[in-house]
Amino acid sequence: MTAEELSFARYAALSEDEAHRRIAAARQRLGERAVLLCHHYQRAEVYRYADLTGDSLKLARLAAQTDAEFIVFCGVHFMAEVADILSRPQQTAVLPDLAAGCSMADMANLAKVERCWRELAAVLGDPDARITPVTYINSAADLKAFCGEHGGIVCTSTNAPAIVDWALARREKVLFFPDQHLGRWTGFKKGIPLEEMAVWDPDLENGGLTPAQIESARILLWKGHCSVHQMFQVEHIRRWRERHPDGFVIAHPECNLDVCRASDHVGSTEYILNTVTAAPAGTRWLVGTELNLVSRLAEQLEPQGKTVEFMAPMVCMCSTMQRIDLPHLAWTLENLAADNVVNPIRVPAHEAEMARAALERMLEVS
């Protein structure tokens, strides 16, 4: 195929049937040269093509264990960065649409975190002696590298409690970014009083905190959140329980503290999938996480008589991950089949080295 034929403009208007046909044909031509990863939140028509499914870290680690030349990540940008960091030199991570970002990850950028570090130094002295930076895996590679350089670490929604234990054992305070809700729920479960967890607003001088508040805080929570999980409210749970008093509520820890406290179970996407799947037949569940995952789970478990419902009354999905659609996947795979690598994700070497150090610390701890 010519360069013009492989330009994305010619793919945008593909019918769904034609896109499916071309994706299947390109995958056959590529064979084992490419492995296709799909995050749990991915849209159904793309998810059906996955070789591997899971959360971001699990997928990156599994892909690195394959012999695939191309790691096609149907997720968002930070996920493809992790795949690049953990993969072997001969492997190339590819993101079908570079616009597939993460609104939460975008709420903490390196410039703002470095300014925060300088402002903390003015109040606390050397922050490397007093604060352990902890970044959620839902963050850019340069923030993982920042943690690597400053003796910090990465966490996931599953291992966050163990990571916070490790961090506080090393230094007296934690700077947790970019998701305040995961940090607050983790601290709450560890018995840290809410008044010792202060929110750092990166758009305000000193995070909007007084020196006394900074001194008394054990966890400084970056003012960030997931645009999907912030939609869930305690009122949604209360109304549902009135109709279904025997039902169960399960939520992701990216939800706010009140939602987590009102739920029967709280955990990662994998935890949610495993818990609801293992539940007795005939049970009813209200699930506080992304719509595509909930809809897929409801369909899979319907034959068991289980009812799985989405927590929010409005449609709410990961809009940035939705940008990876059939035309983008067809374009990516046909280009790869023609030995034309589009949208490669390459983290600079020094940044990757420091980010890998933070990731390896996490894997050792957890």
Residues 236 and 161 in one domain: no
Contact 289, 272 (CB under 8 A): yes
CA distance 177 to 155: 10
Six token digits for residue 345: 């994700």
Ordered DSSP codes for 209-272: --HHHHHH-SEEEES---TTGGG--HHHHHHHHHH-TT-EEEE-TTS-HHHHHHSSEE--HHHH
Does a structural domain hold residue 68?
yes
How does the average pLDDT of the chain come out, rounded?
Answer: 94
- Positive or negative, the CA dihedral 234, 240, 245, 246 is negative
Of 226, 250, 284, which residue constitutes the final position of a domain? Answer: 226
How many percent of the chain have pLDDT more than 70? 97
327-336 tens-digit pLDDT: 999 999 999 9
- pLDDT at residue 314 in the model: 73
Same domain for 72 and 139, yes or no, is: no
250 close to 275: Cβ distance less than 8 angstroms:
yes
Q: What is the pLDDT of residue 319?
A: 63
Residues 134, 136, 139, 140, CA torsion sign: positive
Residue 102 is predicted with a pLDDT of 84
User: Could you report the per-residue pLDDT of 14-42, keeping only the tens digit for each?
Assistant: 999 999 999 999 999 999 999 999 988 88
Residue 313 is predicted with a pLDDT of 80
CB of 89 within 8 A of CB of 352? no
Q: Are residues 147 and 222 in the same domain?
A: yes
Report the C-alpha gap between 25 and 202 in whole angstroms.
48
| Residue 317 confidence class, pLDDT cut points 50, 70, 90 | low
Each residue's pLDDT tens digit, 249-271: 999 999 999 999 999 999 999 99
Number of C-beta neighbours around residue 116 at 10 A: 23
Q: Is residue 360 part of a domain?
A: no
Tell whether 94 and 109 lie within a shared domain. Answer: no
Q: What is the pLDDT of residue 2?
A: 57
239/265 same-domain check: yes
Residue 150 confidence (pLDDT) = 98
- 7-20 per-position pLDDT tens digit: 888 898 899 999 99
Q: Are residues 251 and 324 in the same domain?
A: no
- Distance in angstroms (rounded) separating the CA atoms of residues 242 and 184: 28
Highest mean pLDDT among 62-66, 96-100, 349-353: 349-353
pLDDT at residue 192 tops 70? yes
Only one residue has tokens 């939800």, namely: 255
* pLDDT the model gives residue 12: 87
Give the model's confidence band at 103: pLDDT under 50 very low, under 70 low, under 90 confident, else very high.
confident
Same domain, 54 and 142: no
Residues 29 and 94 in one domain: yes
User: Diameter of the chain by CA atoms?
Assistant: 65
**Cα–Cα distance measured from residue 247 to residue 308, given in angstroms and rounded to the nearest whole number:** 10
In percent, the amount of the chain with pLDDT more than 90 equals: 84
* pLDDT per residue as tens digits for the range 262-311: 999 999 999 999 999 999 999 999 999 999 899 999 999 999 999 999 99
> Does 52 share its domain with 125?
no
Residue 363 in any domain: the answer is: no
Domain hosting 284: range is 229-310
Q: Do residues 162 and 273 share a domain?
A: no
Instruction: State whether residue 179 is helix, strand or coil.
Output: coil
Domain-embedded: residue 92 = yes
| 284 belongs to a structural domain | yes
CA distances from 63 to 42, 43, 82 (A): 17, 20, 11
CA dist list (Å): 263 to 227, 238, 296, 314: 19, 10, 21, 19
Identity of the amino acid at 26: A
CATH of the domain at 205: 3.40.50
Alpha carbon 342 to chain centroid distance?
23
The pairing of beta strand 52-54 with beta strand 34-39:
parallel
In a domain, 200, yes or no: yes
DSSP characters over 33-100: GEEEEEETTS-HHHHTT-SEEE-HHHHHHHHHTS--SEEEEES-HHHHHHHHHHS-TT-EEE-S-TT-
Supply the CATH number for residue 241's domain: 3.40.50.10800
Rounded average pLDDT over 67-93 = 94
pLDDT at 117 over 70: yes
- At 346, is the pLDDT very low, low, confident or very high (cuts 50, 70, 90)? very high
Same structural domain for residues 300 and 243?
yes
The lowest-confidence range among 67-81, 141-155, 316-330 is: 316-330
Say whether pLDDT at 219 is over 60. yes
What's the whole-number mean pLDDT along residues 224-246? 95
